[in-house]
Amino acid sequence: MSYAGFCLLNVEGQRSTATVTATFVDDMPQVKTMTAKDLADHLAAESPDSEVEVITLAAGEAAVRLAPEVRRLPGEITDSGRPETLTLGKISVFFPVPDHGEIGLFELSTPCLDDWNLYSELFFNIVNTIEVTGRQTDTPAGEHSSVDGPMALPQSPPPLPDPDPAVAQALFWYSSRLMDAAALRGQVHGGQQVESITCETCWAKGLRSACSARHGWSIGSVMSGDLMHALPRAVAAFASRGWQTETESAGNRARVRAGDEAPEQSAGYAFSASVDGEAGTFTAEVTAPCSRAAAAADSLFG
């Protein structure tokens, strides 16, 4: 067992509890080659009465099993003094980590079935922060940093994967809308590259895997007379569509993000733009929504 936690909540005046555990399994057959689909097939055959599906998390695919668990409580611990049965709602998420030769098993169980929607959404947000880092380098025998354990060898962080093509296409679309709103003539630089990033919120939580993407570009050789009107023009165009705007640096820089009044499909998108009158450049960076913040729609999670 790598982690076990218990929570005691007050939900609308009623006591509610749940338990979360995390462990890593390395003794299953073919553990090094099993995919989430393989795991789902195995779980469905093993538990035909449970609900099983494959979901996509920020770090990859995982198999999910939802199944009630009935426990018999001895009379010594019940209020009535008689043996009783207790039904628990249980979510099990199996995340294959082939490079490590392990399967991560994350489970939440609760006897408070009236609060199932609360816990299922909460647990999805938890497992959606899973990160897979590089393998630990084996430490030569006898090398220790202290009596507490082996010396930790420095590792380079794993490179971030390329963004999903659909994410890149959406960023290109919003960049195009921004270019149209700025209405500038000049030379466009860096317009073909989209890179994966960790959003500010996740970075502040200590997460380092990719959860978003950005598209940076600039327009150079712009006449100063046109440049001074470009940023207010772009900000006004997006503000009229319900986007929230913030201007700084004496009006030479702006941050814009899709607010509650913006079209639903724009939720989570944002951009920053700045102008440099001396250099004659308009620089922009468009970012995609955080994938870890996505709801588990059309999933067993609800």
Strands 212-220 and 187-189 come out as antiparallel
CB–CB of 216/192 below 8 Å? Answer: no
The pLDDT value recorded for residue 92 is: 94
Tell me, what's the pLDDT at 294?
Answer: 59
- What tokens were used for 44? 């469905």
Longest CA pairwise span in the chain (Å): 86
Cα atoms in the Cβ-side hemisphere of radius 13 Å centred on 128? 19
Question: What local confidence, expressed as pLDDT, does residue 301 receive?
Answer: 66
Q: Tens-digit pLDDT profile for the chain (302 aa)?
A: 789 999 999 988 999 999 999 998 877 667 667 888 988 998 899 888 889 999 888 888 899 999 888 989 999 998 999 999 999 999 999 998 877 778 899 999 999 999 988 898 889 888 888 887 654 434 333 333 333 333 333 344 556 678 888 999 999 999 999 999 999 888 888 878 899 998 888 888 777 788 899 999 999 988 777 888 899 999 999 999 999 989 887 778 999 999 888 888 898 999 999 998 888 899 999 999 988 765 555 566 65
The confidence score (pLDDT) of residue 146 equals 34
Strand partners, 54: 63
Residues 6+ apart with CB under 8 A from 178: 234, 238, 271, 273, 284, 286
Q: At what angle do helices 165-182 and 224-239 cross, to 10 degrees?
A: 120
